[in-house]
Structure 1
């Protein structure tokens, strides 16, 4: 199995159990070793008192893309620490895309950057996640 085939198999296995992302209407658009792209449309229930997308939903989209990117090697990997910077508002009906890319992976630790953009390419948020590999595999051995 190639690294990208392994990444896709891991993603499909995780996706089949990821009700949080699915129930928010997210889609897993692309995955390859160390990289994942996910998207969702901002719904009315995701807007806050300012009429913009609540930051928690932006964070969740970025966090889901981070999770799929860091779990592409068939090792159970979790978030250890993450930060997000909100750069511009997202609005009702916006189609948001989170692109997660591996920056470093050594031993049990990884570093991933996620850019959340809207349908016009405007950057909405930047997320950085540190991952930690734990015991176990995603796919049966």
Structure 2
């Protein structure tokens, strides 16, 4: 997928934009995204809500599996939270393709603080959707 398509896709991504996610890089089967954990993202315990950590990981996954051009959608995902995201942390999610077989792909995403502490591990399964063009 060309950079202009990635840029257009990200421009339409209201969920990522609303969370302040920045897409740092996308290449074949790989993507890196960043997000600062804000006060609005706090859960009842005063730490970053896991849903936002999942959103960041899912965003990196989405761009990694759409990096080739055909439309790819998630068909499943799981996350393991390993450490709390603290308010004020900047989190970096790196998605890496593990396998792509036919229409199906498996991607691993590690979410870390800028200091390198692992916050979560995410595994996403994608499926290429035949005949569905990218929106313009």
TM bucket by the smaller chain? Answer: over 0.9
TM-score normalized by structure 1?
Answer: 0.91
Is 1:50 the counterpart of 2:45 in the alignment? Answer: yes
The one of 67, 73, 84 aligned to 2:68: 73
TM-score normalized by structure 2?
Answer: 0.94
CA distance in 2, matches of 1:87, 1:29: 24
The Cα shift of 1:139 comes to 7.3
Residue by residue, what CA displacement relative to the aligned partner does 1:69-120 show, whole Å, maximum 9, x if unpaired?
0001110100001100000011110000000000000111000000000011
Contact between 1:10 and 1:139, CA under 8 Å: does it hold in 2?
no
SS in 2 for 1:97: strand
Gaps of 5+ in 2: none
Structure 1 residue runs of 4+, over 2 Å off? 6-10, 135-140
The one of 3, 9, 20 aligned to 1:14: 9
The Cα shift of 1:121 comes to 0.4
Aligned Cα root-mean-square deviation (Å): 1.3
The Cα shift of 1:9 comes to 3.3
